[in-house]
Amino acid sequence: MTAVDDRRMAEYFASFEAPEGVKAELLRGEIVMTAGQDVVHNLIVTFVQRQIPVDRWYSLQTQDVDIQAESSQPQPDLAVLPIGAAPESGRPLDAGALAMVVEVVSRTSKLRDHLTKRFVYAAGGIPTYLIVDPFQAECTVLSEPFGAGEGADYRVTRRGKFGEPVPLDVLGVTLDTTEFGTLA
């Protein structure tokens, strides 16, 4: 897509309203819609959110994130930012304010969560990307983003199976994954 096409798509997406119960995201100039999630998915999001210290961090659900260089406005399952970095209002949230994003893999999001969003979040400079995969019973922590556009990625990848502690250095916590459910 050209820059003009990207700008038009971003303008269109700004006024786009997805049907109730449908999540809509702009990923590299393409609107992607997904239906509501499984209970296992939603409980994992809840378990992660409960472990984020509320005295230092906001963890926001259903918050669009603006990654201008990517013509993307993903909506991670959780967007985590320092309390002092939160704007008074607005949508979408600037990627530069975030410390971490969390995606819990669903049947229809596996490739987007593991690949597309990995590179989009890295291009946005988001310091840590946590992927929780209930199909593999595994967490992947990506950190140290580098590069831009198609060449963006994370330098560091750490994996841990459900039941093992997962260090989230950016937040200063270790995630307890023992309650995470799995999907077949």
pLDDT in tens, 121-136: 999 999 999 999 999 9
**Whole-angstrom Cα distance, residue 138 to residue 131?**
8
Q: Give the pTM.
A: 0.85
Q: Which residues pair with 73 in a beta bridge?
A: 26
Confidence (pLDDT) at 22: 66
Write out residues in the chain with pLDDT < 70, as ranges: 1-6, 21-22, 25, 35-36
Please provide the CATH number assigned to the domain covering 37-175.
Answer: 3.90.1570.10
